[in-house]
Structure 1
C-alpha cells in the first residue's frame, strides 16, 4: 500500500491546451444534461427508493464528516491542503483496519516492485513502474508455484534488496511524486478534495475482512497454501479451479507471506491508488484540466463496484489498473528515441502479459485495444521488438495455461471443456445460467435500474454512469480528440456482455469510460459540468451498499465497532473461518465441508475438501454414499480422503452422514453460529 502521493504530475493538464468549449451548441448542452431527468424517471418508475439503504449512506456521510474534520485540523495546524489531509486520514484508516503488519508488508512489496519496474523503464511514472514490477513478480512466481521456495523471509529479503539497490532512484521518485501531487492539488484544490474524499469512501471496502463467497471457496486457497507448505500443488482433482489464471492470488500471497497474515485490504488499497492515478493521467492526456482529471477520479471512487471489489479478491480490481495504464501508453505521444520507443513497447507487453495472467477475458480487452493502438501510433514495432514483446507476454501470462494444458489437457480448465474434454470436468462448456438476462438496446438502462438481474447485488448497485452520463458518452464520439477512445471503450464494455450479461466483467472497461465522460462534460458545459458530475458521484455513493452484500449488511460499521477484529465478523457471516483457525492449530489431517452449499475451506489449501462441484471426485462419491442409509459408504469416503475433521450444519446434515459420524465415534469440538466442527479420531490422515 502506498499513499496518494502516486497521483501523477499535472503538467499534462497544464501544458496541453484544454478542450473545453464555452461556445458549444445549445443542442450539445441539452444532450449532455439529458441523463439527469432520465435518472430521475428511472428512480421513480422502477421504485429504487424501496431498495435504497439509507443507513449505509448515512454512515458514509458520518465518515466523510470525520475525515473532513481530521483534514481540517491538519490544515489549521500544518497549513496542508484539504486533499492532502484527507489522503493521510484515509491512509491511516486503511492501515489500522486492514492491519498494521500487512500494510507494512504491502508497502515493502510496493517498494520492491517500484525498484523492479524502474529497471524496465526509468522514465515511466512511478505508479506505472509499480504496476509493472508487481506483474513481473506475478509472472515469475507463477512458474515457481509447485516448488517449495515460497517463504516470507525470502520475499522480504528480496524486496529489501531491490529497494536498497535502487534506493537513490526510489528516493528521487517519491520526492518528485510528492512535488507533482502538491502541484496537482494546487491546480484544483476543491476538485482534488472531492476526489480524495470519494476515493477514501471507496477504500472502506478494504477495511472489512475477507468473506466474499468466491474468496472463501477459491481465492484464499493459493495464499494460505503457500503460507502453510511453501508450495502450491497443481491438482485439479482437489479443486476444479486450481489451474485457473492465478496472478491476482499470487500478488495477494506475497505480502501475506511477508506479514504472516492476510493482506487483502492493503493490497486492494494499493490497486485503488494505482487505478486512480491512471484515470487522472488519461483525463489529462485527453486534454482535460486538473479539475477535469480530479472529477474523473471522483467518478471512479463513487462507483459502487469500486468499493465492493475492494472488499474481495476478484481480479477486476487489478485488471482495471493494468487496463487503464495500457490506455495511458496508447494516448502518450509516440516516443522520439528508439530506446524509449522500445521501452514503451516492453512496458506494454508487461501490462498485456499481466492481463493474460489475471484472466483470459482480461487479455481479450488488450486484444480489442490493439487496433486503436496501431492506428494511434501509425507504426508497427520492428519484427525483433515485436517477437520480444510476444515472448514477454507469454512468459508473464502463460504459466497457468501451460500447466493446465500439460496436467489437465485443457489450458482453460474448466472453461471450454466441451472442446478439450479434460477428464477433470464434465465435457461441457462451463457457464452460469444466472447471467443470461438478454443482450439488447435496453441493457444500459437495465444494468442501472435492474442490477440484480446482472450481479449479486441490488438495484442501483452498478452505479448510474450509463444513464446519467449517456449524453456525454454520445458526445465523446463527435469530437476528434475523444472519438477513437470512445469507440474502443464502448467495444470493451459491450464485448463481455454479449456471451454473458454479468456486470462485474464490465467494471474495468467502465473505469476507462470515466475520464472520457469527465473531459467531454467539461468541454461542452465547463461552467456547470461540475454540478452534473458531482451529482452522479453523490447518487452512486447513495447506492454504494447495493453493489456488495457485505456493505449492505453494515460490515464496515461492524469493523469500526470491533476496532478491526475479524473474529466477530466471521462469527456473524462466515463462522467456518473461526473454526478453521482453531483447526489450523492442530496436527489433524484433511477437513471436509459437509454442506455442499458452503464449501468455505479454501484457506486450508489441499487440506480443505468439499462435496461441492469444486471437488468433483468427492462430489460424485458423496452422491453415491447417500444411497446407503447406514453410513457405511460415508465411512469409506472419509477414510479414503483422509478426513479427520468435518464442518457441518445440523440443519443440512443427512441421516446417512449422521450415521457415519456415529460409526466413527466422531466428537463435536466447537460450535460457531450454525456451523459445527466435529473431529473424527478413527480416520487416518492422508497428508
Structure 2
C-alpha cells in the first residue's frame, strides 16, 4: 500500500510551528466523549457481550499470527492478514472467493490499460468501474452466462499474465516496505480490518438487499438477462453499477459472493486511505492509523454485511481524492482514469455522484481549468461508465432516476410525488455532530454510538486541519462533502464515504500536532468505535457473527431465525414454478427470485392496487382471479396477516401448504400447473 511513482508522495510539508493551544484543541474531543458517555445514556445501549466476541476473535487471530511469526519469521501483520483471509474463505465459501479473486485480477488487467503506472489498488478500482459500466449497457441482452464471464476474465488475465506477475511482485515488495516502516501500527491496522471483515462472514439478510439489491444478480444467474420492466419492481432501474458488480462473481460461482467482494472493496479503500495519508505528508505511523480508523468505524463492518453502495463509494471517492492530491501536469491517461472513477460514482448512486461533483472545486483549484476538449472527453467517459441506468430508465420509464423526483418527471410507473422518507429529517444545526454520535438512532436504522465517535473525538483535529494553511483546502472539501450530504437529509449512512475521506487528514494532523501522544488518541478512538461496533447494524447486535461461527458457515440457521423466506425460496427454486407472491406487504423479501418475485407492497404498484381491490370482495373471487391473471404459482404467507378475502381466494384455488419456516408458510396453487 505504498506509493507508486506516478502518484508521488509530495515533498516535505511547509508546516507552521505548533502552538500550545493547538495541542489542547487536538485533545478537546477526549473530555467531550467522556461527557457524552456519562450524560446521554449511551452506556445503557452498549452490549458488552458483542464486544467480548470481538476480543476473543482478536486474541485468536493474534495467536495464529504469533505462531506464524515464530515458524516462518513473518511480521505480525502478515500473519494477521493470512488468518483473517482464511476465515473469510471459510465463511464466505471457497468458490465465491475464487470467483471474486478471478474477477479482481481481470479488473486489474483492464484498469492497467487505462493507466499502467498507478498503484495496483487504483488500477483494480478503475477496472471494476469499467466492468460495471460496460455490463450495465448489456443488461437487456442474453449474454450474462458463466462461461461468457469466465472466458472474458481468463482472456484478460492470460493476455496480461506477465504484467500481472510483475505487478504482484512489485506489490509484495511495497507491502513489505510499508509493514517494515511501522510494524506495530501495521499489525494494529490489519487486526482492525480483520474485525471489520466479520460483517462479510454473514449471509445476505439486510432488508434492502433481500427486497431489491439481490434482484439483479439472481436474475442474471438464472435467466442471463435483465428485463427492463419497472412495472414489476419500482427500484429495478435505479443506479445499478454496484449490483452489476455483485452479479459478476455470483454468476461465475453460481452462488452469492457478496462477502468476498465487499472485502475486496474494503482492501481497495484501505490502500487508498494509506496512500492519501502519505500524500498529505504523513508518516507511516499516521498512514497505518488512518487505516485503523477506517476499519474501526462501526459502519465499515455493518456495510460489509450488506449490498449497500457506500462500501464501493468510499473506495472510489478516496482514490479520486488521492489522484487530485497527486495531480501534476496534464497527463491525459491520468485524467481518463479520474473520469472512470467519477463515472463509477455516478453509476453507484446519485448521492455518490454528488460527492464527485463536490470534489470538483478542489480539483480545479489544484489543476486549473481544463481545455474544452478535455471537458468533453471527461463527460463522455463519465456518462459511458455511469449512465446506463439513467439512459434506460429515461427511455423506458420517462424518469432517469425512477422513482426519485417523479413529481417532476411524472413517470406512469410511480406516483407523481417526490420520494421522501420523513424519518431522516431530524434537523441540521450546530449540535448535529454530537447528536449523530450519541443519538445515532435518529439518523440511521441503528443504536446510539453506531456511527462511531470520530465526529466528536477528533473534532479538534478537524478544526486544526481547517486552521493550518497546508491542509485547509482538503479540510474544507471534506467538510463540504459532509455538509452537502446532510443538508437535504440527515441520514448517516450516506455520509460514511465522506467521513472515510476525512480520516487520513485527521490522523496526519494529530501526529503533526502531537507526535509523541497522537497514537494514544487515535488508538483510543479505534477501541471506542470497536466497543460500539455492534450498535451499527442489528445483525451484529443480536450476535449473528457468533451464530455464523457456531453453524460453521451454514446460512440456513440464520435464515430460519431472521428471514425464513430465504429458506422457503430455496425450496421453491428446486421445484417447477411460475411467479412467487409475497402476500405480506411488510415483508416483500423476494428479490432473489428476479422477475419471478412479486409482492403486494409499494414495490409492485399494479399488484398493490389489485390487492386493495381484491380485498373489497369478501368471497375471494377477486383474489382468485388476480392470482390467475398474474400467473402466480406459489405464495409466501404469514397466516396471522391473511385477510378473510385472501383466505377465501386461496381456498377457491385449492392452495396447499408445501412448507413452513418460523411464522412464514409456503403455499402452492395446483390450479397454476396448467399454466406452464
Q: Are positions 1:119 and 2:148 aligned together?
A: no
Q: Cα offset for 1:632?
A: 1.0
The DSSP-based 3-state class of the residue aligned with 2:140 is coil
Q: Cα offset for 1:384?
A: 2.3
Change (3 A) 1:91 1:20: farther
Contact 1:71/1:85 (8 A) holds in 2: yes
Give CA-to-partner distance per residue, 1:445-501, whole Å, 9 cap, x none. Answer: 000000000000000000000000000010001122211000000010111111111
The DSSP-based 3-state class of the residue aligned with 1:334 is coil
Q: Are positions 1:247 and 2:241 aligned together?
A: yes
Q: Are positions 1:342 and 2:337 aligned together?
A: no
Paired with 2:245 and 2:605, the residues of 1 have a C-alpha distance of: 27
Paired with 1:122 and 1:635, the residues of 2 have a C-alpha distance of: 61
Paired with 2:580 and 2:146, the residues of 1 have a C-alpha distance of: 25
Alignment of 1:530-545 (within 5 A): 530-545=519-534
Paired with 1:498 and 1:624, the residues of 2 have a C-alpha distance of: 40
Q: Are positions 1:370 and 2:381 aligned together?
A: no
Paired with 1:11 and 1:31, the residues of 2 have a C-alpha distance of: 36
Q: Are positions 1:594 and 2:583 aligned together?
A: yes
The DSSP-based 3-state class of the residue aligned with 1:606 is helix
Give the match for residue 3 of structure 1.
none
Give the match for residue 259 of structure 1.
253
Alignment of 1:264-663 (within 5 A): 264-335=258-329, 341-377=331-367, 379-663=368-652
- Selected match of 2:208 from 214, 217, 225: 214
Contact 2:658/2:668 (8 A) holds in 1: yes
Contact 1:145/1:232 (8 A) holds in 2: yes
Contact 1:10/1:183 (8 A) holds in 2: no
Q: Runs of 5+ in structure 1 lacking a partner? A: 1-5
Q: Cα offset for 1:47?
A: 1.0
Change (3 A) 1:502 1:225: same
Q: Cα offset for 1:259?
A: 0.4
Give CA-to-partner distance per residue, 1:87-144, whole Å, 9 cap, x none. Answer: 1111111111111000000000000000000100000111000011111010000010
Paired with 1:39 and 1:389, the residues of 2 have a C-alpha distance of: 44
Contact 1:590/1:685 (8 A) holds in 2: no
Paired with 1:579 and 1:328, the residues of 2 have a C-alpha distance of: 46
The DSSP-based 3-state class of the residue aligned with 1:530 is helix
Change (3 A) 1:640 1:145: same
The DSSP-based 3-state class of the residue aligned with 1:89 is helix
Change (3 A) 1:14 1:132: closer
Change (3 A) 1:579 1:655: same
Contact 1:19/1:288 (8 A) holds in 2: no
Paired with 1:224 and 1:344, the residues of 2 have a C-alpha distance of: 36
Q: Cα offset for 1:8?
A: 5.0
Q: Are positions 1:669 and 2:658 aligned together?
A: yes
Q: Cα offset for 1:52?
A: 0.3
- Selected match of 1:50 from 44, 59, 70: 44
Paired with 2:154 and 2:373, the residues of 1 have a C-alpha distance of: 34
Q: Cα offset for 1:580?
A: 0.3
Q: Report runs of 4+ in structure 1 exceeding 2 Å deviation.
A: 6-21, 379-386, 683-687
Contact 2:9/2:279 (8 A) holds in 1: no
Paired with 2:421 and 2:6, the residues of 1 have a C-alpha distance of: 46
Paired with 1:160 and 1:154, the residues of 2 have a C-alpha distance of: 10
Q: Cα offset for 1:380?
A: 2.6
The DSSP-based 3-state class of the residue aligned with 1:484 is helix
Q: Are positions 1:108 and 2:82 aligned together?
A: no
- Selected match of 1:26 from 20, 24, 46: 20
Alignment of 1:61-80 (within 5 A): 61-80=55-74
Contact 1:95/1:103 (8 A) holds in 2: yes
Q: Runs of 5+ in structure 2 lacking a partner? A: none
The DSSP-based 3-state class of the residue aligned with 2:580 is strand
Contact 1:562/1:568 (8 A) holds in 2: yes
- Selected match of 1:84 from 62, 78, 84: 78
Give CA-to-partner distance per residue, 1:379-420, whole Å, 9 cap, x none. Answer: 233332321121111111110000111111100100000000
Q: Cα offset for 1:9?
A: 6.3
- Selected match of 2:132 from 138, 141, 151: 138
Change (3 A) 1:90 1:10: farther
Q: Cα offset for 1:683?
A: 2.5
Change (3 A) 1:8 1:632: farther
Paired with 1:677 and 1:642, the residues of 2 have a C-alpha distance of: 16
Change (3 A) 1:39 1:45: same
Paired with 1:404 and 1:382, the residues of 2 have a C-alpha distance of: 32
Q: Cα offset for 1:18?
A: 6.3
Give the match for residue 678 of structure 1.
667
Q: TM-score, normalised by structure 2?
A: 0.98
Paired with 2:335 and 2:10, the residues of 1 have a C-alpha distance of: 25
Paired with 1:589 and 1:179, the residues of 2 have a C-alpha distance of: 55
Give the match for residue 12 of structure 2.
17
Q: Cα offset for 1:364?
A: 0.9
The DSSP-based 3-state class of the residue aligned with 1:462 is coil
Contact 1:579/1:677 (8 A) holds in 2: yes
Paired with 1:325 and 1:640, the residues of 2 have a C-alpha distance of: 51
Paired with 2:124 and 2:625, the residues of 1 have a C-alpha distance of: 51
Q: Cα offset for 1:686?
A: 6.8
Paired with 1:15 and 1:236, the residues of 2 have a C-alpha distance of: 49
Contact 1:8/1:277 (8 A) holds in 2: no
Give CA-to-partner distance per residue, 1:45-103, whole Å, 9 cap, x none. Answer: 11111100111100000000000000000110110100111111111111111110000
Paired with 1:460 and 1:9, the residues of 2 have a C-alpha distance of: 37
Give CA-to-partner distance per residue, 1:598-632, whole Å, 9 cap, x none. Answer: 00000000000000000111011111111111111
Give CA-to-partner distance per residue, 1:642-681, whole Å, 9 cap, x none. Answer: 0000001111111111111111110000011111000011
The DSSP-based 3-state class of the residue aligned with 1:527 is coil
